[in-house]
Amino acid sequence: MPTTRQIDKRYRELAQYVRTIADAMGMRDWTTTFLSESPTDAEHGLTASDGLVIQADSIVPPGRALAIIRLSGNLWWTEDLDHLREVICHELLHCRLWPYNRIVDTVRGTLAQQTYDVWNEARRHAEEEVVNALAAGWCVTLPLALPPSPSAASPGGGSGTRVL
């Protein structure tokens, strides 16, 4: 169980890492915020009890270049930094698409609810496919500049090294 100090340190490291990835993805004009809240999918009401674990999510307030990223607890402490890098890249790509999604959402009132639901689900699925493919290809070019989590370090200090 991480200590409060370790959690605070990891929060700062992850927030900085999101910033680093955003910069490398050409989002220097964006503000990034990393929140220590669990990700959710409020629109679909998905939770871990539904058998689907939401690993991460992202929010962009209307009219702002503000990427808000949330990661599940297991990603905070993962030793699989390649996967973490891909997840952050994936969420930042979704952030880039939020303005597009807002425009698409304007048809909501013009369609019958059932039609909108089916169409919107197809649109979300298509976006997910595209974001997955782009993130998989792009993430390998992005920095892996995150220190290992405390759980990855051996007791007494250092990843696999012995302090004498």
Phi, psi (rounded to 5 degrees) for 127: -60, -45
Shortest distance (Å) from residue 93 CB to Zn ion: 8
Ranges within 114-133 binding Zn ion (CB under 5 A): 128
Distance CA 75, CA 83 (A): 9
- Residue 138 or 149 having the CB closest to Zn ion: 138
Shortest distance (Å) from residue 148 CB to Zn ion: 25
Sheet of 56-59: strand order equals 31-35, 66-71, 56-59
Shortest distance (Å) from residue 150 CB to Zn ion: 28
- Residue 19 or 90 having the CB closest to Zn ion: 90
Helix locations, 25-80, DSSP H: 73-76
The candidate with the shortest Cα–Cα distance to 56, out of 65, 5, 20, 67, is 67
Q: How many residues of this chain bind Zn ion (CB under 5 A)? A: 1
- Residue 24 or 87 having the CB closest to Zn ion: 87
* 8 Å CB contact between 35 and 69: yes
Binding track over 71-110 against Zn ion, x by CB under 5 A: ----------------------------------------
- Residue 117 or 128 having the CB closest to Zn ion: 128
Contacts of 62 (CB under 8 A, 6+ apart): 102
In this structure, which amino acid lies at residue 141? T
Shortest distance (Å) from residue 92 CB to Zn ion: 11
Residues in touch with Zn ion (CB under 5 A): 128
